[in-house]
Structure formats: C-alpha cells, structure tokens
C-alpha cells in the first residue's frame, strides 16, 4: 500500500532538508572560528611600514651571495649550511632557530642548536608536531650583519 504525498509531508521533508543544511553549516562555522586564533601579527601596520627595510636587507644578502640550505638529519634534527658567494662555508654566530606553524601563532617554538665549524648548524626538533612547519633562522654573519632566512619544512 502506497501512501499519498500530502502538503504536510512536503513541509516535513523541507524542514528536515534545510535543518540538515543549517546544522552542517553551523558545525563548519564553529570549527572554523574555534580552530583559528585570529590575528597572528600584533603590530601589522608597523610591520607593513617596515616591509621596504626587509626588501632592502634581502637585496643586500642577494648581492653578497650568502645563502643557506636545510637538510633533515634523521627524524629529530635539521642541518643548516650557511654558504658564501663561491659556495665556501660562511662562519656565523649568535644563531637562533624558531620552528613555527604558518597560520597558528601559539605554536612557535625556539629550537636547541649546536653550532659546528664551517658554517654548519644543527637544530634539534625534539618530537615536534607533524605537518607543514616553517623555520625562522637568524644569525650574525662574519662582518656582523644580521642574516634572516625562512624555510618551509615538512615534519612526518
């Protein structure tokens, strides 16, 4: 026996359909708001004004020919190699390495480092969370200039 489709049935079907859509949208909105902490940069305006200074520093490093490579050293460390224009090792001092999440500011973590000879620095990851991370590397070059690099890193 087949029942007849009445107006009341159609109303119930529409209420269930739109109720499901609203519930799912509400759930997605909740996860989007609770998962993102909001503003990452406290003084975005002043950092925006200083952006030209960052560009000038990057062009100076490019003119000097200084560069850096990042290599994974097993599961718990990364090796940073600082090199000059000819590929020769670049002696650095006062090295600071920070591991951070690209979009989540609360997860910034300074890494313990071991400076070795010949422009080589080993940074310990010590069981950091898996996924896409970035390294912020700051060091003093041989002439006292502050060197800053950022590199993407995938932790698995």
Per-residue model confidence as pLDDT tens digits over 49-93: 888 888 888 888 888 888 888 998 877 889 999 998 888 888 888
Domain ranges of the chain: 1-35, 66-155
Q: Does domain 66-155 have CATH number 3.20.20.20?
A: no
* Closest by CA position to 40, among listed 84, 102, 109: 102
Contacts of 25 (CB under 8 A, 6+ apart): none
Structure-block tokens of residue 114: 């071991």
* pLDDT at res. 8: 93
* pLDDT at res. 33: 83
- Tokens 């590199």 appear where? 151
pTM score:
0.65
Between 27 and 46, where is the model more confident? Answer: 27
* pLDDT at res. 128: 66
| pLDDT greater than 80 at residue 40 | no
* pLDDT at res. 91: 87
- For residues 44-49, give the mean pLDDT: 82
């Amino acid at each position: 026996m087949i029942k007849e489709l009445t107006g009341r049935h159609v109303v119930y079907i529409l209420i269930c359909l739109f109720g499901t859509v609203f519930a799912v949208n509400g759930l997605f909105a909740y996860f989007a708001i609770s998962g993102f902490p909001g503003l990452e940069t406290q003084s975005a305006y002043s950092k925006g004004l200083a952006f030209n200074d960052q560009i000038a520093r990057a062009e100076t490093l490019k003119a000097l020919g200084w560069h850096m490579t990042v290599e994974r050293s097993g599961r718990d460390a990364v090796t940073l190699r600082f090199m000059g224009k000819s590929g020769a090792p670049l002696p650095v001092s006062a090295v600071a390495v920070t591991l951070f999440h690209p979009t989540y500011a609360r997860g910034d973590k300074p890494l313990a480092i071991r400076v070795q000879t010949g422009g080589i620095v080993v940074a310990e990851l010590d069981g950091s969370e898996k996924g896409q991370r970035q390294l912020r590397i700051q060091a003093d070059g041989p002439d006292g200039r502050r060197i800053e690099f950022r590199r993407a890193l995938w932790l698995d």
